[in-house]
């Protein structure tokens, strides 16, 4: 390899010369770097703007629900007796509550067992069936009933577990019951006697209708330990706590509840009773929640406004401009937001139509400010209307028609509703009175298909009347895991001994089918099946889509995506539903056009990224050209270096020869 030392022959500083020449040639690179830095600054600025818009949109979405503005506050004069919570359906009022009895669960205890791990019985397969219902009449002596009756609760599913040689100890039975999630909790209590271990079964639900009946089919030892029927002599468990309802009066009206949490006594109010005694419950408008929501709106908007100002302003002191000063995209964002804020939301029909009426005003610096006194006055006079200024709202003239949802395509305005068909439930009606005697292996098993889900159920053998059989059938069906995990349930009724099984679902997907060895005995030959139908009708004269009880506006119509629930039994004109989109909803919708993948800001940043990419391509091309120029300069100056070196060598030779000639002449 040769060694290159530019300028060594001529004393020319070729590296310095080339470096200086290349500094001049490289000035376009500096210009490109400056331009790229400017684009990067804009890109970062748009990132800040997007973040501020997204943060504001999060706040907007949080207050676009009317329920956020219709909250009610509750206060109890004695919170140790009862407390309350209220939804938007409640009415501001005061209620005097006198609690005379608390709801409680039933508890049953077994006789003592010496060991918790020893096997009980021979280990043969045994089925434990738990039913829940009401114990009536008779007397209770030392935890045992005599002369009582048991009525099964059709609203509380029954359930079964299997005990065999793998789990026939006290611990195994406890664990099997708890694992099955039947609505019963099993524990083992040690009472300190010679046979101290007692299995205690406690109903998970309070209330008189949650008393237990336990049928044991199989091993006699397990039957002797766990069988419990309060209406018969089979009571091998002792009741240690009776199931009972809560009892109270509300403004002098008697209230009886299966739970200590009562949600159906006062419309929109949930009472939580804690002990016996009296208290006064006051329900009032939660003005603090409304003010909190409005302040959150103002704070988030002002943060966006601050970001916009910092990105678009000029600092005269530092003589620096914001990275987006004069940018057309930012001007579009600012203009659209401010225009929306000063325009009344479409579809509002009340007395409040703009922000200034509730004390929210736009300041000269672009920020929003709140006049709390003006807001308080508005809340005192028009509390129910304030939420409509911010949220999506649907108000129907028919009390049995309600707003259920909308989409971005839904237009604000009044919508006329006409119903041509009401939604119905699928059902199966018997053609003969049911056989009320259920015999194991003979007529106890049926296969049901409900709303497209199929499961096989086994009824508990025994003698029933038509009402108790209907209750048992309903509780058994609704306790099947195949149905419960899919949210499927039924109602079973009877008339003159003829059973009807009705799906709890509305619409065309609602249907009931039956088969199995017990089918004919329950419903007769060829029971009549009727599938459910969807609600049908028009919104603003245009045919809407029905699904169950919900009617949805047709695509392309002003009511597109408007979802309305239709209750009641009236066909024909059902009045109007006024749909409006408040400021929060409209701003969030506007921000979608800014922030979406094809939105305004995305398009702008895509353009900036393309420009940065083009700069990169230009820089690469320029670097290649500069490398060629530098190579040319080095080639040229290297040649000059050689030429000068040769000329210097010749000059030195001639000088030497001339000096030699001069010496000869002197001799």
* Better-predicted residue by pLDDT, 326 or 398: 398
412 and 543 both lie in a single domain = yes
Specify which residues 393 forms β-bridges with: 580
Dihedral pair phi/psi, residue 28, rounded to 5°: -60, -30
Lowest mean pLDDT among 260-264, 297-301, 450-454, 636-640: 636-640
Q: What is the pLDDT of residue 2?
A: 41
470 and 494 both lie in a single domain = yes
Q: What is the pLDDT of residue 608?
A: 83
Instruction: Report whether 204 contacts 184 (CB < 8 A).
Output: yes
572 and 607 both lie in a single domain = no
Instruction: Report whether 596 contacts 408 (CB < 8 A).
Output: no
| DSSP 8-state assignment for residue 358 | G
Report how far Cα 394 is from the mean position of its chain's Cα atoms: 21
Q: Which residues of 54-79 are buried (b: 16+ CB within 10 A; e: fewer)?
A: eebbebbeebbbbebbbbbbbebeee
546 and 398 both lie in a single domain = yes
Task: Determine, yes or no, domain membership for 594.
Answer: no
334 and 372 both lie in a single domain = yes
Task: Determine, yes or no, domain membership for 269.
Answer: yes
Q: What is the pLDDT of residue 348?
A: 85
Kindly tell me if the per-residue pLDDT of 544 is higher than 50.
yes
Kindly tell me if the per-residue pLDDT of 11 is higher than 80.
no
Kindly tell me if the per-residue pLDDT of 468 is higher than 80.
yes
Kindly tell me if the per-residue pLDDT of 5 is higher than 70.
no
Chain mean pLDDT for the chain: 91
Q: Which residues of 499-533 are buried (b: 16+ CB within 10 A; e: fewer)?
A: bbbbbebbbeebbbbbebebbbbbbbeebeeebbb
Confidence band of 3 (pLDDT split at 50, 70, 90): very low
List the Cα angle 57/59/61 in 5-degree steps.
70
648 and 604 both lie in a single domain = yes
CA distance 273 to 641: 105
Task: Determine, yes or no, domain membership for 92.
Answer: yes
Structural domain harbouring 319: 293-392
The angle, 0 to 180 degrees and rounded to 10, between the axes of the packed helices 372-386 and 287-312 is 110
Lowest mean pLDDT among 82-91, 274-283, 368-377, 472-481: 82-91
299 membership: H or E segment, kind and range: helix 287-312
CA distance 140 to 226: 19
Task: Determine, yes or no, domain membership for 2.
Answer: no
Number of domains into which the chain is organized: 6
H-type alpha helices, 26-81: 27-62
Task: Determine, yes or no, domain membership for 568.
Answer: yes
Confidence band of 10 (pLDDT split at 50, 70, 90): low
User: What size, in residues, is the chain?
Assistant: 667
* Mean pLDDT computed over 11-39: 79
| DSSP 8-state assignment for residue 428 | E
The angle, 0 to 180 degrees and rounded to 10, between the axes of the packed helices 600-666 and 14-25 is 150
Q: The tokens of 19 are what?
A: 């470096």
Task: Determine, yes or no, domain membership for 591.
Answer: no
Domain limit, last residue, from 285, 313, 340: 285
Nearest Cα to 392, choosing from 562, 274, 253?
562
497 and 577 both lie in a single domain = no
Confidence band of 16 (pLDDT split at 50, 70, 90): confident
Task: Determine, yes or no, domain membership for 329.
Answer: yes
Longest dimension (CA), the chain: 164
CA distance 301 to 56: 6
121 and 198 both lie in a single domain = yes
Residue 507, phi-psi category: left (phi > 0), alpha (psi -120 to 50), beta (remainder): left
Q: What is the pLDDT of residue 27?
A: 81
Confidence band of 622 (pLDDT split at 50, 70, 90): confident
369 and 417 both lie in a single domain = no
Confidence band of 667 (pLDDT split at 50, 70, 90): low
Task: Determine, yes or no, domain membership for 590.
Answer: no
CA distance 589 to 581: 10
306 and 430 both lie in a single domain = no
Q: Which residues contact 557 (CB under 8 A, 6 or more apart)?
A: 539, 540, 542
User: What would the pLDDT profile of 282-341 be if each residue is shown by its tens digit?
Assistant: 999 999 999 999 999 999 999 999 999 988 888 888 888 888 898 888 999 999 998 999
Domain limit, last residue, from 260, 285, 310: 285
| DSSP 8-state assignment for residue 376 | H
364 and 325 both lie in a single domain = yes
Q: The tokens of 78 are what?
A: 């004695």
Lowest mean pLDDT among 69-83, 118-132, 262-276, 611-625: 611-625
* Mean pLDDT computed over 507-518: 96
115 and 235 both lie in a single domain = yes
User: What would the pLDDT profile of 194-218 be if each residue is shown by its tens digit?
Assistant: 999 999 999 999 999 999 999 999 9
Confidence band of 6 (pLDDT split at 50, 70, 90): low
* Mean pLDDT computed over 259-281: 94
104 membership: H or E segment, kind and range: none
Specify which residues 139 forms β-bridges with: 146
């Amino acid at each position: 390899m040769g060694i290159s030392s530019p300028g060594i022959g001529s004393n020319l500083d070729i590296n310095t010369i080339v470096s200086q020449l290349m500094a001049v040639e490289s000035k376009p690179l500096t210009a490109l770097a400056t331009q790229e830095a400017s684009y990067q600054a804009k890109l970062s600025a748009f990132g800040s703007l997007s973040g501020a818009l997204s943060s504001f949109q999060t706040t907007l979405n949080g207050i676009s629900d009317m329920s956020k503005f219709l909250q009610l506050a509750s206060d109890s004069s004695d919170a140790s007796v009862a407390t309350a919570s209220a939804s938007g359906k409640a009415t501001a009022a005061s209620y005097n509550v006198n609690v005379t009895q608390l709801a409680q669960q039933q508890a049953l205890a077994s006789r003592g067992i010496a060991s918790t791990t020893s096997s009980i019985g021979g280990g043969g397969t045994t089925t434990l069936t738990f039913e829940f219902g009401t114990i009536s009449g008779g007397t209770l002596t030392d935890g045992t009933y005599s002369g009582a009756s048991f009525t099964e609760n059709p609203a509380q599913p029954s359930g079964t577990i299997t005990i065999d040689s793998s789990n026939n100890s006290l611990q195994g039975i406890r664990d099997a019951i708890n694992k099955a999630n039947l609505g019963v909790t099993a524990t083992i209590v040690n009472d300190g006697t010679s046979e101290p271990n007692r299995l205690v079964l406690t109903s998970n639900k309070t209330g008189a209708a949650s008393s237990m009946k336990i049928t044991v089919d199989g091993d006699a030892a397990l039957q002797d330990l766990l069988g419990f029927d309060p209406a018969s002599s089979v009571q091998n468990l002792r009741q240690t706590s009776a199931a009972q309802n809560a009892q109270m009066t509300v403004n002098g009206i008697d209230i009886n509840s299966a739970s200590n949490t009562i949600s159906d006594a006062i419309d929109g109010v949930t009472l939580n009773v804690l002990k016996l005694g009296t208290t006064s419950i006051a329900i009032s408008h939660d003005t603090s929640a409304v003010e909190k929501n409005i302040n959150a709106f103002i704070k988030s908007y002002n943060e966006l406004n601050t970001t916009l100002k910092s990105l678009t302003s000029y600092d005269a002191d530092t003589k620096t401009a914001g990275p987006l000063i004069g940018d057309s995209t930012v001007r579009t964002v600012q203009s659209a937001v401010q225009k929306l804020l000063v325009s009344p939301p479409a579809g509002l029909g009340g007395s409040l139509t703009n922000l200034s009426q509730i004390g929210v005003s736009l300041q000269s610096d672009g920020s929003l400010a709140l006049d709390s006194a003006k807001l308080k006055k508005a809340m005192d006079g028009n509390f129910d209307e304030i939420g409509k200024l911010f949220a999506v709202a649907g108000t129907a003239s028919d009390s049995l028609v309600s707003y259920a949802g909308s989409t971005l395509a839904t237009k604000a305005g009044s919508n006329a509703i006409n119903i041509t068909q009401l939604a119905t439930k699928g059902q199966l009606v018997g053609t003969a009175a049911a056989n009320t005697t259920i015999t194991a292996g003979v007529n106890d098993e049926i296969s049901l298909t409900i709303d497209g889900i199929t499961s096989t159920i086994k009824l508990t053998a025994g003698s029933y009347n038509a009402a108790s059989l209907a209750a048992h059938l309903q509780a058994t069906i609704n306790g099947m895991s195949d149905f419960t995990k899919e949210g499927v349930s039924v109602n079973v009724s009877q008339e003159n001994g003829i059973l009807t099984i009705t799906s709890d679902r509305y619409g065309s997907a609602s249907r009931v089918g039956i088969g199995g060895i017990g089918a004919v005995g329950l419903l007769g030959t060829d029971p009549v099946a009727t599938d459910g139908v969807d609600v049908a009708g028009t919104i603003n004269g245009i045919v809407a889509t029905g699904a169950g009880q919900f009617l949805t506006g047709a695509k392309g119509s002003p009511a597109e995506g408007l979802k309305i629930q239709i209750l009641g039994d009236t066909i024909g004109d059902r009045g109007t539903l006024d749909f409006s989109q408040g400021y929060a909803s409209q701003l969030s919708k506007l921000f979608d056009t800014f922030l979406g993948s094809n939105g305004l800001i995305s398009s702008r940043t895509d353009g900036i990224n393309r420009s940065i990419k083009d700069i990169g391509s230009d820089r690469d091309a320029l670097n290649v050209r500069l490398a060629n120029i530098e190579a040319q300069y080095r080639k040229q100056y290297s040649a000059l270096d050689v030429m000068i070196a040769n000329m210097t060598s010749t000059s030195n030779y001639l000088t030497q020869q001339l000096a030699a000639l001069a010496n000869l002449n002197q001799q």
